[in-house]
Structures are given as structure tokens and as C-alpha cells.
Amino acid sequence: MVKRGGLKVGIFGVGIELAGLVGEKNYGQTRYLDPVAVSREIVRELRGQSCDLVICLSHLGHRYQSEKIDDLKLAARVPGIDLIIGGHTHTFLERPVPVVRPDGGSCLVTQAGMAALRAGHLYYSKNAAGKMLAKDYGYVDINEKVKAV
């Protein structure tokens, strides 16, 4: 959890099963656990710590036609995630995709492509009722026009 601008932000990550994709020597003793079950547990812990915003950094992939778990399915099955920043499928989205969570809330799912060709930004604010609202988003192509810092 990090504190920024008076907000508590809970951040966690999930990834794909490595067995069959890379050699065993590359992942060693790493065990693959069900991302939905693990995410539910972690989100419960983060919300229990009074996080205002919960962000999942995912390497599951944006969308699959099969039953394989992806970012959109994760958002639809886990209550309490506000934002999923995804990877793995190299999907270039024009805007975050809103997904209704099991608790009736909304989770935004985004992915900025691949190979650091684009970067994204998303700004949240807290309304008078204490609810977090996404207020602005965008993507920037990373090219010679982007000033190095």
C-alpha cells in the first residue's frame, strides 16, 4: 500500500501460469495459484486496511475467447478492484474498458500495448460521498517527441 495525495492506494499483481510457456529453470519454485481466488483474498486485505483505491497489475492478458482467466473476467469476478493495468496480450486500447464487478461497483481495465510504445495515465478524484471516480485518462505514444526526464 502506498499513500499519495491523502489517499491510500493498494497495489497487487497477478500473472499467467509459466509452466509450458518458459523453461522450468526460468521460474524455479514459483507456483501458479488461481488468480481469482488470490485476488479476492488480497483485495479483502487491502480494503480491510481502508484503501481508497485498489489497483491490480496483471499479466493475464486482456481477453480470451476460451474460459482462460483474463483481465476482463478477473474484473467481473472479483469485488473491490478499481483498476486493472494489464499486459501479456499486447492490446492497444483507446480507452479503459469499464466492467461491472460482482459487488455492483465498476472496475476499469486498461492496457497500453507493448514494448513501451505507449504510456497511459488515469486520474482519480474522491467525490463528496467519498467515492473514487476516474476523471481523466489518455495514452501517449512514446517517440522522439516525448521529452526524456
User: Is the per-residue pLDDT at 24 higher than 90?
Assistant: no
**Mean pLDDT value of segment 122-146:** 84
Which three cell numbers, joined as nine digits, stand for 139?
495514452
| Cell 499483481 -> residue | 13
Bridge partners of 108?
Answer: 83, 98
**Percent of the chain with pLDDT strictly greater than 70:** 100
Residue 43 dihedral angles phi and psi, to the nearest 5°: -60, -40
- Give the pLDDT confidence score for residue 70 in this predicted structure: 96
Domain limits of the chain? 2-113
Of 19-33, 56-70, 98-112, the poorest mean pLDDT is in 19-33
User: Is the per-residue pLDDT at 124 higher than 90?
Assistant: no
The tens digit of pLDDT for each residue in 63-88 reads: 999 999 999 999 999 999 999 999 99
The tens digit of pLDDT for each residue in 41-70 reads: 999 999 999 999 999 999 999 999 999 999
What's the mean per-residue pLDDT of the chain?
Answer: 90
CA distance 80 to 104: 9
Residue 45 dihedral angles phi and psi, to the nearest 5°: -65, -45
CATH number of the 2-113 domain: 3.60.21.10
